[in-house]
Copies of this chain bind each other. A is one copy, B any other.
Amino acid sequence: MNTKHLTAGLAQAVISSVPETSAEAMTEARKGLLDFTAAAFAGRKDKGIDKLLKLIDEEGGRPISPLIGRNRKAAPSQSALINGFIAHALDFDDVHSDVRGHPSAVILPALIAAASSGRMDKSRFLGAYIAGIEVMARLGESVGSRHYEKGWHNTGTLGAIAAACAVGYAEKLNQTELEKAIGFAAAQSGGMRVQFGTEMKPLHAGLAAESGLFAARLAQTGFGGSVHALDGDKGFFGLYGDFERAEAMFLNGWGKPWRIVSPGLWFKIYPFCSAAHHAADAILKLKAQHELTADQVDRIDVVFPSAGDAALTERRPKTGDAGRFSVEYIITLALDGKDFSAENFTSKPIPEAIQSVFPRIHRRYDARIQPDENAVPKGRFTIVRVTAAGNQVYETRIDCPKGAPGNGLSEEDIQEKVRLAMPQKAEELINAVLQSDIERYLQLI
């Protein structure tokens, strides 16, 4: 692999690999597709969708691609945009620790739009998804943690290239077309973490899906573009990350194992930011063990490794959707005996009684604590220390929360998530996915 030409190397890796031959990867891809569909159906009534529909109604377009859970169709690019939003609306969709973001909510909407608009061999759908995850995981690793910490939103910034490669694989782009598609996607890459806690965050997934689809399709028209968009310090990695870092690692060991298998997708059991799942498990455990209530609690310390709470941008959220990014809100909900169902994470105001607890919750960082070797994501942990009436202190530590790889959801758990989200069509949909029947899948969503 010529690492001096990362663009050409990536295109070649995508084109020449055959992810379908890995039974393990295909199993994970089917789980991913089921979990994605459950997350999207759970989010199908989000109020943001109606606002987006207003815009596309003004635009018009050929209704050929499905809008998940809405019983209607839209133009392919509109379907990619809106399905990305739907899938990520509740933050209930998978994350991947290499990506530090949400790969399926970008890649699958682009593939669904492509598959439904007639140009694609649907037997390549799951392979394309595996390839897309591979690309996005490697982009994430190569831009490094600094990218996210600086303020970029990886789902948006890395998603377009990954989606372009996935559609490129599915639609059999040739080497030059795929190199150009990567460049078209790179030039449209954006997304900022300042949007966390707003409707724009999930729309970043949709915008990246739309851009990736557009990039792959544009390349097929023969449109002219750079075939070096990832190369050198003025290319994508130079602008969004660190070219030297990327050059040293980007394509090493492609598909061995596939990143969808290891470290694997993290399927969520709660509809909020994965960075708060450790604390959620911890407070539920402490509450169950000690029958804690909010009244009894004087103070709670939540201890992270440094920057371990970077995604948790909301310390004093006022609405449930902002609360998705607030460890303070999530801990208080649990203490208060509320569950983590989607109803507690809408745009409705958070009751004063809940908000009044937040000042008693303190975030701390302790660089001396050694992360567990099985921690997910790598290097992460969360300790929740509750100081209750009478100076009683209860403490627990979570390194790998329920749902994360190593403590993951079983196939049965994921099927249950599908049944809860879409009771009427669940069995049919599960069967279609288990049989890799994408044609039927597209009719059911």
With A192-B187, A223-B51 as contacts: A151 and B198 at CB distance below 8 Å: no
Minimum CB–CB distance for A143 against chain B, Å: 13
Minimum CB–CB distance for A62 against chain B, Å: 3
User: Do the beta carbons of B55 and A192 come within 8 Å of each other?
Assistant: no
The yes or no answer to A373 lying at the interface (CB within 8 A) is: no
Cα A194 to Cα B190 in complex, Å, equals 17
**Residues of B with C-beta under 8 A to A152:** 239
User: Do the beta carbons of A221 and B75 come within 8 Å of each other?
Assistant: no
User: Do the beta carbons of A60 and B58 come within 8 Å of each other?
Assistant: no
Minimum CB–CB distance for A19 against chain B, Å: 27
With A198-B224, A225-B200, A235-B192 as contacts: A156 and B217 at CB distance below 8 Å: no
Cα A318 to Cα B384 in complex, Å, equals 64
Q: How many positions in chain A have a CB within 8 Å of any CB in the partner chain?
A: 59
Contact segment of A226-234, A292-300, A435-443: A226-234
A131-153 vs B, CB cutoff 8 Å, 1 = contact: the mask equals 00000000000000000001111
The yes or no answer to A189 lying at the interface (CB within 8 A) is: yes
**Residues of B with C-beta under 8 A to A153:** 187
- Nearest opposing residue in chain B for A55, CB measure: B217
Cα A61 to Cα B224 in complex, Å, equals 25
User: Do the beta carbons of A194 and B224 come within 8 Å of each other?
Assistant: no
The yes or no answer to A236 lying at the interface (CB within 8 A) is: yes
Cα A190 to Cα B189 in complex, Å, equals 6
Minimum CB–CB distance for A218 against chain B, Å: 6
Query: How many subunits of this chain does the assembly comprise?
Result: 2
Residue from A55, A217, A229 whose CB has the most chain B CB atoms within 10 Å: A55
Residue from A52, A117, A150, A190 whose CB has the most chain B CB atoms within 10 Å: A190
- Nearest opposing residue in chain B for A85, CB measure: B223
User: Do the beta carbons of A48 and B190 come within 8 Å of each other?
Assistant: no
- Nearest opposing residue in chain B for A232, CB measure: B194
- Nearest opposing residue in chain B for A63, CB measure: B60
The yes or no answer to A193 lying at the interface (CB within 8 A) is: yes
User: Do the beta carbons of A150 and B54 come within 8 Å of each other?
Assistant: no
User: Do the beta carbons of A190 and B193 come within 8 Å of each other?
Assistant: no
**Residues of B with C-beta under 8 A to A193:** 234
**Residues of B with C-beta under 8 A to A58:** 62, 76, 117, 217
- Nearest opposing residue in chain B for A230, CB measure: B194
User: Do the beta carbons of A200 and B223 come within 8 Å of each other?
Assistant: yes
- Nearest opposing residue in chain B for A60, CB measure: B62
The yes or no answer to A273 lying at the interface (CB within 8 A) is: no
User: Do the beta carbons of B192 and A151 come within 8 Å of each other?
Assistant: no
Partner of A225, one of B150, B183, B198, B228: B198
User: Do the beta carbons of A225 and B199 come within 8 Å of each other?
Assistant: yes
Interface residues of A in 305-361 (CB under 8 A from B): 321, 347
The yes or no answer to A379 lying at the interface (CB within 8 A) is: no
Cα A52 to Cα B194 in complex, Å, equals 33
The yes or no answer to A204 lying at the interface (CB within 8 A) is: yes
User: Do the beta carbons of A48 and B224 come within 8 Å of each other?
Assistant: yes
Interface residues of A in 229-257 (CB under 8 A from B): 229, 231-236, 238-239
25 A–B pairs (Cβ distance < 8 Å), ordered by A: A51-B218, A55-B214, A55-B217, A58-B76, A60-B62, A60-B75, A151-B239, A183-B200, A184-B200, A186-B190, A186-B192, A187-B191, A187-B200, A187-B204, A190-B190, A192-B226, A193-B234, A194-B228, A194-B231, A194-B234, A199-B223, A199-B225, A200-B224, A200-B225, A224-B347
Extra A-B contacts (10), CB below 8 Å, given A152-B239, A187-B207, A194-B231: A58-B76, A58-B117, A59-B78, A60-B60, A151-B235, A156-B187, A183-B195, A192-B229, A200-B223, A200-B225
